[in-house]
Amino acid sequence: MNVFELDRTYVANTYSRFPINIVNGEGSLVWDDSGKEYIDLGTGIGVNIFGYSDKEWLAAVTDQLSRFQHTSNLYYSRPCAELAGLLCSRTGLKKAFFSNSGAEANETAIKAARKYAADRKGSDCYTILTLKNSFHGRTLTTLAATGQEVFHSYFQPLTPGFVHIEPTVSELRSALCENKVAAVMVEIIRGEGGVLPLPEDFVKELYRLSREQDFILIADEVQTGNGRTGSLYGYMNYGIQPDIVTTAKGIGGGLPIGVTLLGERVEDVFTPGLNGSTFGGNPVSCAGAINIVSRIDDSLLAGVRKKSEYIFSRLNELPSVKSVCGMGLMIGIESELDAKQAALSCLERGVLVLTAKNKIRLLPALNIPDGQLERAVDTLISVLKG
């Protein structure tokens, strides 16, 4: 059987894949099994933030791999502790819990917030407010957090205690009056929901109320984190300090890792036995992540913002484009074309893009060379012109 037949026969039918078989990658380029080259503006859904087979990351990972690949959380190991220290010093948060995915990072955030609220306000204070059109993961609890009904069918009952609101100050205030709220969890830019940045007045008021009313503010930075928006974390663009920040995807550079960063108010909620993960803090993933986070510096972030301006300015000129939204290198494009069809046309012309709702979504590598970006945008424009 060829790979398509093998996959369709034996892999669970949960993805509608594009009809190519990727066999190799380098930087922002990938090749399929026919030797066709593609410029990748999707990076494995925001994961390979320094592209494919990045040499520095590869060296960090293989060096650790040659020492030991895993040891469990029964013992100390340097990469896990060092990565925690690096993230805390870059964010001002106090402690890190490591898991394997964005959904797990969010599960931990929800547990930490509910424990904080139960300790201070009683066990009936457990409601978590999240946003309509949000996406927080595929476990039954993070699906409950996800504010899109389309993901809820077939899996009822989901974990109770979640209320979804629009990101407006008035909906926030009413929901806080009507519920005993332990936490509010937001994506700074709702990625899967259509690349929708949060309004500034909403974020500022949410932050102010979280201090005034003593509920936990959780920023889900699984997609927006790690340099993607032109700042190390998306919340930094708004001048606020969440109590909990979750991240995954890009921080691993291609290896699975989830991180829940706990701020001052929640740093001590967990005690031994209250949370855990067999693979969490895996030394190979952590060694790779140390390399990735260390390289997200001012000069890289300035490059992200410059590349972003270039993409925005070229796409905004097109009459067939209805809107371009997002921040940094997380960009959504609404056009007259069907997004899925446009993505397929881009693929045929050698450019890989993503979609989110009715938009084309771009999450290119943060270091994509300018020449390749220019070529990919030329192709995208030729598709959008029809």
Ligand X SMILES: Cc1ncc(COP(=O)(O)O)c(C=O)c1O
Query: Does residue 44 bind ligand X (CB under 6 A)?
Result: no
Residue 352, H or E segment: strand 351-352
Residue 100, H or E segment: none
Contact 94, 298 (CB under 8 A): no
Query: Does residue 137 bind ligand X (CB under 6 A)?
Result: yes
Classified as helix, coil or strand, 18 is: coil
Query: Does residue 187 bind ligand X (CB under 6 A)?
Result: yes
Residue with Cβ nearer ligand X (140 or 302)? 140
Whole-number Å distance between alpha carbons of 264 and 243: 7
Q: Looking at residue 151, what DSSP letter applies? A: G
Q: Which stretch binds ligand X (CB under 6 A): 116-124, 170-178, 184-192, 349-357?
A: 184-192
Query: Among candidates 112, 145, 115, which has minimal Cα distance to 128?
Result: 145
Residue with Cβ nearer ligand X (282 or 345)? 282
The total of other beta-carbon atoms located within 10 Å of residue 117's CB is 24
Residue with Cβ nearer ligand X (186 or 269)? 186
CB neighbour list of residue 167: distance below 8 Å, 6 or more residues apart: 131, 186, 198, 199, 202
**Residues of span 77-106 touching ligand X by CB under 6 A:** 101-103, 106
Residue with Cβ nearer ligand X (114 or 136)? 136
Query: Does residue 135 bind ligand X (CB under 6 A)?
Result: yes
Contact 245, 267 (CB under 8 A): no
- Please pick, from the candidates 25, 191, 252, 288, the single residue that binds ligand X as defined by CB under 6 A: 191
**Residues of span 347-366 touching ligand X by CB under 6 A:** none
- Please pick, from the candidates 209, 222, 360, 365, the single residue that binds ligand X as defined by CB under 6 A: 222
Q: Which residue is nearest to ligand X (CB)?
A: 102
**Residues of span 223-252 touching ligand X by CB under 6 A:** 223, 248
Contact 49, 228 (CB under 8 A): yes
Is residue 45 packed enough to be buried (19+ CB in 10 Å), middle (13-18) or exposed (0-12)?
A: middle
> How many residues belong to the site for ligand X (CB under 6 A)?
14
Residue with Cβ nearer ligand X (136 or 295)? 136
Residue with Cβ nearer ligand X (101 or 241)? 101
Least distance in angstroms from the C-beta of 9 to ligand X: 25
Q: Which stretches of the chain bind ligand X, using CB under 6 A? A: 101-103, 106, 135-137, 187, 191-192, 220, 222-223, 248
